[in-house]
Amino acid sequence: MAVPSLESRCLCAFLLLLQPNPPSMARAKPLFITNIDPALAACRPLPTQLTHQEHYMASDVEQPAKGLLQSLKSDRLVKIYVGDEAQPYFVQQLVLEEQSSYFTKALQANAFSEGQTACLRFLDDSAVAWTYFFHWTFRSLLTDGEDGNYKEEDLIQCWIFGDKPATWECLKHGVLNSPPASKLRQLMAEEAVKYVMRTPANRMSMLDQFDGAAGFTSQLFQALTSYNEGAPWLHGRLTACGSDGCTKVWRDYIKGEPPYKHWVYDK
């Protein structure tokens, strides 16, 4: 049974770092309505004498709020059993479906038994990988791991937990929606070449799916040349080590000025 792609979500988390100020839930600002009659704050009906600006601001906030409140009333909790743990995790279906289309399909009431019972079982999965997945889902951050360190075994479990085909879809989305010659495009070109070259039979025809992406052909050629030359940074992007020591080459893909304190390997 396929599982949602944590590996691709980790890649997307890295892509967020390409922004000068990566978004964080901790910095989220509350939304305020200004210039609205005090009756609104008292939960009474809106007065009829609203200005054009007040009507616009009220509807702009009210509609998304209604949708959220309605989903909270109708949404159901899904039980998730992981590994040999007897105690399930309870997660809102809406939250799960926002993370992966896998959950949307699996939880259809008329399609599978999982959808009818609102119960998912992943008996062969790693509890640690799901811990990382839940932490990302609810906090939009990657956990620092036990004692601030990652165990190699845990990282391997996270990789297994991921669905590699979904990573290719993530790459295509990044290429087709990023500006030509951007740092994001450079990263996407290198990852696409790595993906294709490590696929059985080196299916170069997969690169035809990027036809129409302006300027991407030259970036693919550069990435392919570097790959064939065995460029160490292409195979170990986090920390490339050579005769002159180790270099944090991931900085080459980040916009903005140092320090980059958001990346766990930059210690």
Cα dihedral: 195, 201, 204, 205 (round 10): -120
Task: Provide the CATH number for the domain formed by 6-19+75-161 in this structure.
Answer: 3.30.710.10
State whether residue 184 is helix, strand or coil. Answer: helix
pLDDT in tens, 204-258: 788 888 887 888 888 888 888 888 887 766 666 555 555 555 555 666 777 666 5
Split at pLDDT 50, 70, 90, the class of 27 is very low
Contact 251, 260 (CB under 8 A): yes
Domain ranges of the chain: 6-19+75-161, 165-229
Query: What pLDDT score does 175 carry?
Result: 85
How large is the average pLDDT for residues 90-95? 91
Return the sign of the alpha-carbon dihedral for residues 41, 43, 44, 50. Answer: positive
Beta carbons of 54 and 36 less than 8 angstroms apart: yes
As a whole number of angstroms, the distance between CA 144 and CA 135 comes to 10
Res 105: pLDDT = 82
What is the C-alpha separation between 167 and 192, in angstroms, rounded? 10
pTM metric for this prediction = 0.41
Report the residue count for the chain. Answer: 267
- State pLDDT tens for residues 143-161: 766 666 677 778 777 777 7
CA distance 81 to 85: 7
Contacting residues for 122 by C-beta, under 8 A, at least 6 apart: 1, 3, 80, 81, 82, 83, 130
